[in-house]
Amino acid sequence: MSALKHETFAAGLVLAPIDAGGAEPSDWRALADERSVIRIADAIDRAVDTQDWKLARSYFADKVTADFSSLSGQPAATIPSDDLIGAWAGNLKGSKTSLHLRTNHQVVLDADAATVRSNGYAWNRMEGNGDQLWEVWGTYEHHLTRSAGGWKVDGFTFRKTHERGNPWVKTTPGQ
């Protein structure tokens, strides 16, 4: 069975596009690192959507440079990751739900640093003031650094390309 898994994985590598928008990993460690950092970017979304704040926090270094300027108008800032997760937890709670999706990951590896760029879509839903949805499309950029504890996000940027829906849902914390 293990030989079959290995052959299937190897066949997938042969069938993969030559250039998927970035430098192709050159060895097994690079492939594993690429998969790990993509998995972390995706796992943050799942943790946020299930409101598992302890799990979400586990993916971040102690400090993170966060840039949501395209959504909030506030400049990027380096803040404690506990503050970032606390802000998310204060907004997305109880009666307010979210769904985050991402695709088209591009990874750049540089020794113990990695950047994951992806396209994203998110919505927030909450009843109470007209239209129940607020949606946003854009691009994400996660910067990660390898530490003794594994890969950790130390930079997080979202660049909005489009939004629609009820701004009240965007700005009002859940109850």
Per-residue pLDDT of the chain (175 residues; tens, 9 = 90+): 444 444 434 444 444 444 455 556 568 899 999 999 999 999 999 999 999 999 999 999 999 999 999 999 999 999 999 999 999 999 999 999 999 999 999 999 999 999 999 999 999 999 999 999 999 999 999 999 999 989 999 999 999 999 999 999 999 999 9
pLDDT at 13: 46
The pTM of the full predicted model, rounded to 2 decimals, is 0.83
pLDDT at 26: 66
CA torsion through residues 140, 91, 46, 146, sign: positive
Question: Kindly report the CA angle at 111 between 106 and 112, in degrees rounded to 5?
Answer: 90
Chosen CATH of 25-171 out of 3.20.20.100, 3.40.50.720, 3.10.450.50, 2.60.120.480:
3.10.450.50
Tell me which residue of 100, 87, 89 sits closest to 52, measured CA to CA.
89
Which residue ranges make up each domain of the chain? 25-171
| C-alpha distance across the termini of the chain, in Å | 50
pLDDT at 27: 86
